[in-house]
Structure 1
Amino acid sequence: MKHPLQEMMDKRRQGIRCGIPSYCSANELVIEIALRRAKERNIPVLIEATANQVNQFGGYTGMKPADFYQMVLKMARDIDLPENMMILAGDHLGPLTWQKLPEAEAMKNSVELVYQYARAGFTKIHLDTSMKVADDAPGLLKTEVIARRGAQLYKAAMKGYEELKAEKPDAMRPVFVIGSEVPIPGGATEAEDTLAVTRPDAFRDTVSTYQRVWTEEGVGDGMKDVIAVVVQPGVEFGDEQVFDYDPAAAVDLCAALKEFPDICFEGHSTDYQTAADLYNMVTDGIAILKVGPALTYGLREALFSLSMMEKELVPEEKRANFIETLDAVMLASPANWEKHYHGDEKHLAQCRKYSYSDRARYYIGQPEVVAAMNKLFDNLREYPIPMNMLHQYMPISYAKIREGKLKLDPRELAMDGIVQFMLDYESAV
């Protein structure tokens, strides 16, 4: 069976304009609605877990790769979505979470990480060895070092795949993404003035160096499994800013892609781009569009609107107080936001709520916050939302309910906040 992303590349080689959104989130509501839309549209869905979310030590979700795979598989089966319609992916797999360790230890952990992802059934693997580890020499990491470490991880992934295939003969062969021009996972940590688009020569050097080094490492044929290279096409976001895609700035880079018909570009940090920008990116060869924080931002936005309606509808002593609960949990454990948000107390409070970086996503799945969310849903079922009030707080969802496209249920309204971002990606590809 051919991988759906290989089928996408076949179409692109035939001149058919197409691409795929990559939903990078461990949030269960995000995953549920992504799976549901895949079934409704009869199109495979690509769901990614990052190395810091899901790894052999549990990551910040507490899940190992096999746990995440089984969670998504159960959710797919619950809605009768076939397993081959879900493409599970591992993002930034490499030394990302072990940069403070020397190479021997960092790469040992990275090898195990990639092996576990492939062994669990993940079929799109981003081999990201672009970050330095503790005993790397000062200065930029050489592309050759990045490629050699990548070869080591490719071998680990294929070992995991072969073991899985022995148990499950129809297991899909994984495809790979390489590249060292990788934006910081989850958005910029500081305000930026400009973004440097990847130079065409740097892109060509990445591909040619990987081809040479992988051949030297005995996995030259592995380059046939590489379908994409991560580049910086000039998109990024931070607390309050979004760098919009500029086709003119990326024209030379995208022209260089035509020299390599077997690969496309993967764009990271495409969150908050306009629908037109996303469409242009796919047209220009950035066919895999990574999005993560924007999805939980949409969920958070919808939950805040529901919480505001709760304040008008539900007696004070019965309220879930979702907004206040989320902020209290973030204040009690600031490690996942304090390095990203800067300013006085008032500004920090605004960032915790509204920042495009959406560090709230690290907390929205914590038990206390989930309990407040579920109580909010229960309260708004007991005290139903009037349509006239819904129009005030959620006008887009209101219109869908009027048209019979959405149920007036608080949980469905919460997920519709996610859908509003997904629609831009669906139309772009």
Structure 2
Amino acid sequence: MNKNLRMHAEKSNLSLLDYVLKRNSEIAKETGVNRTIFAACPNSMAVIKAALNSAKRCNAPIKFATTLNQVDLDGGYTGLTQYEFVKKVKQEAASINLQSPVIIAIDHGGPWLKDQHRKEGMNYEQTMQAVKESFEAAIAAGYDLIHVDPTIDTTLPKGEIISIEVVAARTVELIKHCEAYRVANGFPKIAYEVGTEEVHGGLVDLSVFKSFFELLKSGLKKEGLEDVWPCFVVGKVGTDLHTTEFDAGVAKLIVDISAEYGSVIKGHYSDNVTNPEAYPASGMGGANVGPEFTEREYEGLIELETIETQLFEEGKVPKKSEIKQELWDAVIASGRWVKWLEDDENADDFYANDADRQLWLIKTGCRYIWQNPEVIASRVALYENLENNGVKAEEILLSHIEKAMDKYFYKFNLVDVNDLLIK
């Protein structure tokens, strides 16, 4: 089905994602049911497997939204380059004979949005060049969408917000670069996503929102790219790092505006959202979920350790894996938890912070250390201890993640949509 949809998209002179969204719109008119594309942030091998399993079970498309921190030319924290990531996804999909469309995308691609760029103190020219090289690698690897997000500028004085004119100009520059590289090398059409939830109220100020559209439209026209237009625009719809209530009222406002320009709204930070069914009801085109799956993976490992402890006490396991302690030690040693601290929290002593916050920081921080050699070794030991006793460790772990993913497939009205997409 993936191949068939790509063939139909090519015949329609569209990218795969633009074609899927076009069919979604047509199906909504036919059935009266809106659908929201679900995107998983693939922060571990387990999440990749779980997403493909869930997509197969639900007979629906799956989109992977990878940040440059996760997958990049340097391997990111997953240890995978763009080419290796695409190859890995294809291998895992083939292993379960997945027929669903698989859409692969860059999430938040822009200057200084890769942690390493900030750490190395890159100037504007250096970080833009690195981003362009990452985009080229993604296009060559077969990615379907690039989220162009030049909304951060570390050279500005603290507290100063980047102007919407600069955001639009840099967005045009990056899209122009991608299109020039794609066309010169004969690669298929790709889709684009623009905007962010982290600037100008997530473009939720309606005057700024419309201004961004107009600036982008005129900028692309000036560069001779009238036929290139983002299918997704990111909007702030109530959810962020610490809130989980989707604001349907705000969403509807910006959904209607974006429709006038031929785009649909994408929600980010949709993790653990309390009212996911409101996304399609509001006309949202897509939603990204990521850290939630790291939390579920952590919880799955803790369940496995509980089983392991019981077996150890029964004399059926010679040595425990100590996976929980290994995870805590690795996250704390990485120092990446500091990135998520509030202003009044302690960056010098992890254990000086509130116990609930410690657990949250560990759960969300695990995505950075899944590929640490010590963590891998501990997980291997855990799995061996359980499987030697007839316990299907990986199945138990994946069930935690898949349960969370199934929720989004159902609440976003995506179950069995594959049967409609190809008609």
What is the letter of the counterpart of residue 8 of structure 1? Answer: L
Tell me, in whole angstroms, the C-alpha distance in 2 between the residues paired with 1:197 and 1:149.
16
Instruction: Show the counterpart of 1:367.
Output: 373
Residue of 197, 200, 223 corresponding to 1:181: 197
The 1:248/1:146 distance shift into structure 2, 3 A limit, reads: closer
- 1:67-146 equivalences in 2 (<5 Å): 67-81=84-98, 85-95=101-111, 96-97=113-114, 98=117, 100-134=121-155, 139-146=160-167
Q: Are the aligned partners of 1:111 and 1:156 in contact in 2 as well (CA < 8 Å)?
A: yes
Instruction: Show the counterpart of 1:310.
Output: 308
Instruction: Show the counterpart of 1:268.
Output: 268
Tell me, in whole angstroms, the C-alpha distance in 2 between the residues paired with 1:355 and 1:331.
9
What is the letter of the counterpart of residue 301 of structure 2? Answer: L
What is the letter of the counterpart of residue 328 of structure 2? Answer: D
Q: Are the aligned partners of 2:231 and 2:264 in contact in 1 as well (CA < 8 Å)?
A: yes
2:48 matches 1:22: no
SS of 1:237's partner is coil
Tell me, in whole angstroms, the C-alpha distance in 1 between the residues paired with 2:253 and 2:154.
32
Q: Are the aligned partners of 2:305 and 2:323 in contact in 1 as well (CA < 8 Å)?
A: yes
Instruction: Show the counterpart of 2:289.
Output: 291
- 1:345-360 equivalences in 2 (<5 Å): 345=351, 347=353, 350-355=356-361, 358-360=364-366
**Structure 1 residues not aligned, in runs of 5+:** 166-170, 184-194, 386-408
2:23 matches 1:7: no
Write out per-residue CA displacement over residues 69-111 of structure 1, whole angstroms, 9 at most, x where no aligned residue.
Answer: 12212222222335x8211111111111235433222211121
Tell me, in whole angstroms, the C-alpha distance in 2 between the residues paired with 1:283 and 1:5.
20
TM-score (norm 1): 0.81
Write out per-residue CA displacement over residues 325-351 of structure 1, whole angstroms, 9 at most, x where no aligned residue.
Answer: 111222333x21123243562646654
Shift of 1:37: 2.5
Residue of 81, 87, 107 corresponding to 1:64: 81
Tell me, in whole angstroms, the C-alpha distance in 2 between the residues paired with 1:362 and 1:346.
22
Q: Are the aligned partners of 2:17 and 2:191 in contact in 1 as well (CA < 8 Å)?
A: no
Q: Are the aligned partners of 1:231 and 1:267 in contact in 2 as well (CA < 8 Å)?
A: yes
Shift of 1:251: 4.3
What is the letter of the counterpart of residue 233 of structure 1? Answer: V
2:260 matches 1:256: no
Aligned-pair Cα RMSD in Å? 2.7
Tell me, in whole angstroms, the C-alpha distance in 1 between the residues paired with 2:396 and 2:273.
23
**Structure 2 residues not aligned, in runs of 5+:** 1-6, 10-15, 413-423
Instruction: Show the counterpart of 2:397.
Output: 414
- 1:186-205 equivalences in 2 (<5 Å): 198-205=204-211
Q: Are the aligned partners of 1:236 and 1:243 in contact in 2 as well (CA < 8 Å)?
A: yes
SS of 2:34's partner is coil
Range that drifts further, 294-303 or 49-58: 49-58
Tell me, in whole angstroms, the C-alpha distance in 1 between the residues paired with 2:164 and 2:105.
24
Q: Are the aligned partners of 1:130 and 1:179 in contact in 2 as well (CA < 8 Å)?
A: yes
What is the letter of the counterpart of residue 131 of structure 1? Answer: I
What is the letter of the counterpart of residue 210 of structure 2? Answer: R
What is the letter of the counterpart of residue 330 of structure 1? Answer: V
Instruction: Show the counterpart of 2:233.
Output: 229
Tell me, in whole angstroms, the C-alpha distance in 1 between the residues paired with 2:368 and 2:298.
12
Residue-pair matches, total: 381
Q: Are the aligned partners of 2:298 and 2:363 in contact in 1 as well (CA < 8 Å)?
A: no
Structure showing greater relative contact order (alpha-carbon pairs closer than 8 Å, 6 or more residues apart): 2
Instruction: Show the counterpart of 2:50.
Output: 33
Tell me, in whole angstroms, the C-alpha distance in 2 between the residues paired with 1:9 and 1:310.
49
SS of 1:364's partner is coil
The 1:318/1:37 distance shift into structure 2, 3 A limit, reads: same
Shift of 1:10: 3.6
Write out per-residue CA displacement over residues 227-248 of structure 1, whole angstroms, 9 at most, x where no aligned residue.
Answer: 010010111133xxx3311323
TM-score (norm 2): 0.82
What is the letter of the counterpart of residue 418 of structure 1? Answer: I
- Percent identical pairs in the alignment equals 24
Q: Are the aligned partners of 2:42 and 2:48 in contact in 1 as well (CA < 8 Å)?
A: yes
What is the letter of the counterpart of residue 362 of structure 1? Answer: Y
The 1:28/1:109 distance shift into structure 2, 3 A limit, reads: same
Tell me, in whole angstroms, the C-alpha distance in 2 between the residues paired with 1:217 and 1:17.
34
